[in-house]
Amino acid sequence: MAHSNKLVHNYNSNLQAFGQSGFDYVTSGTINSHTYIAITVLATAVLDVSVEAGDSLTDVSIPAGTTIYGSFSSITVDSGRILAYRLALDK
């Protein structure tokens, strides 16, 4: 999937780095309405993650306090709690 943001503007880079494009708090179910660039695990979570490049994850247990980075098109939380940070788009 092509995105309009390649972080060519400093303000987009800053927005991205500090999560200013928003996040989704997820305790169960699937989210796929945005592209997500980071997942922070708040309570040990079992996840299924679809990525745009690289390996997807299925039923992987990730400990609390871990952040994983990538370009995620779909995230399913089977258990636990996460924050999924959204990709910053050009404004």
Span 17-66, pLDDT tens digits: 565 678 999 999 999 999 999 999 999 999 999 998 889 999 999 999 99
Which sign, positive or negative, has the C-alpha torsion 38, 85, 1, 91?
negative
Given this model, what pLDDT does residue 60 score?
A: 96
Q: Which residue has the tokens 């399913």?
A: 76
Name the pairing type of β-strands 36-51 and 57-62.
Answer: antiparallel
**What phi and psi values does residue 79 have, to the nearest 5 degrees?**
-160, 160
Given this model, what pLDDT does residue 39 score?
A: 96
pTM: 0.79
The alpha-carbon radius of gyration of the chain (Å, integer) is 13
Map 38-49 to HEC letters: EEEEEEEEEEEE
Class level of CATH domain 10-86: mainly beta
Given this model, what pLDDT does residue 21 score?
A: 75
